[in-house]
Amino acid sequence: MLTAFVAVSLTFFALRLGAGDPTDSLMAQNLVTPGQLAALRASLGLDQPLLVQYASFVAGLARLDLGVSLFTGRPVVRVIAEQLGPTLQLAAAGLMAAIVIGLALGILSAWSRNRLAADGARMMSGLATGLPVALTGILALLLLSATPLGRLPGLGAGLTRGLLLPALVLGFASAGAIARAVHTELTRSRTEPYMTAAAARGIQDSPRLLWHALRPALPLVISLVALQAAFLFAGTVVTETVFSRPGIGRLLVSSILQGDYPVAQGLVVLAALIYTLSQVIADLLALAVDPRLRGGA
């Protein structure tokens, strides 16, 4: 929780010190008159010293009160809740894609006897690690438009605005780290005594032997998946923008551009909580799959 609190605090000061008074954007868009400005600043507490504003923000956060949107006057919690569903769907689908793609590439690169397949898996892992989500999304759109599927009426739009293609793009960006971890652990496991003993029992090159080699890597893979879950949540900002999908990613971009600081702060609070929760879940899963981690052993 300390990590979440630090992230939220840094965001609070960065928004105010970096971009100035949020009511300036309202004035620039002629949404308030000069006569309404003073009353608005007083109602938002912006006429108070910065540390007083911060104390008020922390007190509201303790009551789960994230304030109201500057532009709509609606509670921030409700604004975020309305956009949360599509983002959670995309993040969950992207996480599943990352796990499947990452495990497949890692196993192929370390376990396959076909050199072409192993080299191809290593190359794809490198691309997944190096390519930004925005570039991957644009390339996916270009490839789709160049194929017959993209030219079919309704199908191309369904793939881009639906869940499949955005989830694959988002998952591919996280698959590289998982693939590299799996590759490293499988390569190391081949030299372990228990692998030699398993091969001596006649289970060489079988799925059972692969499981023997993969199981010690599961705690590391779970930790990486937890980190990628937080990354995927942040990656939805770019993915939703590229594919014109609704969700909190586009909400974050619009709130920052408009200067709607309460909404932006609420989204950072949500991201910090998701990051913290994912780490707790990862620790519990690691303990479940690896008894050596229990009791400090």
Together in a domain, 145 and 233: yes
Of the pLDDT bands very low, low, confident and very high (cuts 50, 70, 90), residue 63 is: confident
pLDDT at residue number 65: 82
pLDDT at 142: 81
Q: What percent of the chain has pLDDT over 90?
A: 2
Residues 23 and 107 in one domain: no
Assess if residue 255 is contained within a domain.
Answer: yes
CATH at residue 265? 1.10.3720.10
Mean pLDDT for the chain overall: 77
**Residue 179 in domain:** yes
- pTM here? 0.75
Residue 116's Cβ-count burial label (10 Å; 0-12, 13-18, 19+) is: exposed
Q: Based on the domain organization, do 228 and 160 belong to the same domain?
A: yes
Residue 31, domain member (yes or no): yes
* Total number of domains in the chain: 2
Whether 68 maps to a domain, the answer reads: no
Residue 160 placed within a domain: yes
| Mean pLDDT (whole number) for 30-41 | 69
Domain presence at residue 70? no
* pLDDT bucket at 140, cuts 50 / 70 / 90: confident
Amino acid residing at 218: L
Task: Assess whether 140 and 6 both reside in one domain.
Answer: no
pLDDT tens-digit readout, 195-249:
667 666 666 556 667 776 777 777 777 777 777 777 777 778 888 888 888 888 8
Identify the residue whose tokens are 């698959």.
175
Say whether both 104 and 47 belong to one domain: no
**162 lies in some domain:** yes
Residue-number span of the structural domain to which 250 is assigned: 83-296
Digit-coded pLDDT (tens) for 262-280: 888 888 888 878 877 877 7
Asked if 112 and 162 sit in the same domain, the reply is yes
What pLDDT does residue 101 have? 92
Over the stretch 173-184, which tens digit does the pLDDT of each residue have?
A: 888 888 888 888
Q: Taking 70 as the threshold, does the pLDDT of residue 155 lie above it?
A: no
Exposure b/e, 74-95, CB count within 10 A at least 16 = b? ebbbebbeebeebbebbbebbb
Looking at residue 297, what is its pLDDT?
Answer: 45
**Number of CB atoms found within 10 A of residue 28's CB:** 9
Contacts of 6 (CB under 8 A, 6+ apart): none
Q: Are 216 and 165 in contact (CB under 8 A)?
A: no
